[in-house]
Amino acid sequence: MNQYLLLTGVVITLCVLVNRYIEKLPVPSLLVFIALGMCFGENGLFRIPFDNYQAAEILCSVCLIFIMYYGGFGANVKQARSVAAQSVLLSTVGVVLTALLVGAFAHYALGLSWLEGMLTGSVIASTDAASVFNMLRSQQLNLKYNTASLLEIESGSNDPMSYMLTVVFTTLIAGQQISVPWMLAKQIVLGLLFGVLIGKATVWLLNRFHFNMAEGETIFVLASALLAYALPNALGGNGYLSVYICGIWMGNSSIPKKRNQVRFFDVLTGVAQMMIFFLLGLLVTPAKLPSVALPALLIMLFMTFVARPVATTAILAPFRAPARQIALVSWAGLRGVASIVFAIYAVLQQIPMRYDLFNLVFCIVLLSIALQGSLLPWMSRMLNMIDSSADVRKTFNDYQEESPLSFIKLQVEAGHPWEGQALQELPLPRGLLVSAILRQKQVIAPNGKTRLQSGDLLVIAGNEFENRRNLTMEEIVLEKGHKWCGRTLGSLEMPKGSLVVLVQRPGEAIIPGGDTLLQPGDSLVMARF
């Protein structure tokens, strides 16, 4: 147990430290996390043996729950309304077509049985939400024709269909008798029903109950996401479909402290993606990959240049989609973590396969992320699909054109320059507003003619600073004895990418320079980028 906890701590630490630098690389960051896992693995530098497929499936499945939920939560339905039909068809019919085409290719070109080929096609039929979201956000791919919304909805919603096909063909290979139509209908109906019901119930409860605990709303939403997966899954329904629908319903509803939940799940899914890709890199044995390298390459090439384009064209062409949009959507069909999770599920069923399914799918995913992911920005430019007037962030629910309000307090002491002045006479910068005045035991709703008195506590509202382009602001208070006290700013050895932008001292605010002498009690506002 301690060994796994130690490894987990080391992994998260490494991933967080390198994430700052890998964002600047021309390859998807998730590829680097896989490489890190392989370095720690059995054939890597640290030679850590790990072949516990059951533990990996549990951890990866839990991570996938939150990735699916947050994918639905972040999908802006209003923004995606114009491409909703295309997205749904791609995530259902498109997945089936891709699976059938890849299965037929695996049968005729690689000699797999029909059921083995169809299972292979089913496992890799869905595009990966984590990979697609990561590329769109990190590369700021603002695409024409609302293509970003189309890709987000498709990649977030096609895993359930791929999972259902995987379960069907795994069951058939195992020789079990099932009614495929009944099984599919049960999966879809229960998945949709529980997703909507749990989403509606959660929204209703959030808007009617006050949680008397810190971040109670966020904890409640976390529990709802787990229930949305577990309840339909226990009854034979599709838990992934349910949790995605639940996320869509809640993300597009008015709920309290939504921004806090966005921040929480943003961090949670970020860690989940790091961990899951690292774990998959740790689980694979590189020495065994050469045996599946050629069939994996052939399947990936066929899927990228034949199966995916055929399925995409068949669905988008009737909507009169431009040829360049069809081409880009075809290229953006990145495979990722969901495919590997489904492969692990099939491996645990101990079904006979000509090729090691996990290693085969791992190789396909690796090639897909490396080739399609790395070249996606270039393909977007080559196809003239970049829209300079658009903002890809608008396709996510966590985007706001205006920053949310933040509040600060200001005490008007005796002798303060504002004492005795009316609010309309104050030299407040544009965008700041005195929203309330606390005077003794009274709360005053002010107007322009309200005059300030000694002892008034002003509540001032303004737009909150947001972390944009990795720029953060933090406050450092210099206590007595701090190593910076008595030194000038110019003499300090600060970390690279750090800058003191303001020094707050009792009674004054100083715009600092290199010769600014720091004193005990100073409060430094530091920008990190």
Domain ranges of the chain: 76-395, 402-466, 467-529
Mean pLDDT of 419-441: 86
Mean pLDDT of 410-421: 88
The DSSP letter of residue 398 is T
- Name the CATH code of domain 76-395 (choices 1.20.1530.20, 1.10.10.350, 3.10.129.10, 3.20.20.70): 1.20.1530.20
63-77, 136-150, 425-439 — which is least confidently predicted?
Answer: 136-150
330 CB-near residues (< 8 Å, 6+ apart): 308, 309, 312, 313
**pLDDT beyond 90 at 461:** no
Q: Which amino acid is at 520?
A: P
Angle between helices 147-157 and 84-110 (to 10 degrees): 60
DSSP string, 213-237: STTHHHHHHHHHHHHHHHHHHHTTS
Cα separation, 499 vs 488, in Å, equals 13
Backbone angles phi, psi at 374, to 5 degrees: -65, -35
**Stretch (H or E) spanning 477:** strand 472-477
45-49, 315-319, 396-400 — which is least confidently predicted?
Answer: 396-400
CA angle in degrees (0–180, nearest 5) for 192-59-395: 50
**Mean pLDDT highest for which of 265-279, 298-312, 353-367, 454-468?**
298-312
Mean pLDDT of 167-190: 89
- Dihedral sign, Cα of residue 207, residue 208, residue 214, residue 219: negative
**Stretch (H or E) spanning 276:** helix 258-283
84 CB-near residues (< 8 Å, 6+ apart): 77, 153
Cα separation, 375 vs 369, in Å, equals 9
pLDDT band at 76 (very low <50, low <70, confident <90, very high): confident
Cα separation, 308 vs 289, in Å, equals 24
Closest-CA residue to 269 (of 65, 11, 467): 65
Q: What is the CA radius of gyration of the chain?
A: 27
- Dihedral sign, Cα of residue 393, residue 399, residue 400, residue 403: negative
Between 99 and 40, residue with greater pLDDT: 99
Q: What's the pLDDT at 132?
A: 74
The CATH class that applies to domain 402-466 reads: alpha beta
200 CB-near residues (< 8 Å, 6+ apart): 249
**Fold of domain 467-529:** Alpha-Beta Plaits (3.30.70)
pLDDT band at 360 (very low <50, low <70, confident <90, very high): very high
pTM of the model: 0.76
CA angle in degrees (0–180, nearest 5) for 30-33-34: 90
Same fold, 76-395 and 467-529: no
Q: What's the pLDDT at 398?
A: 56
Cα separation, 258 vs 220, in Å, equals 12
Q: What's the pLDDT at 23?
A: 63
Q: What's the pLDDT at 402?
A: 43
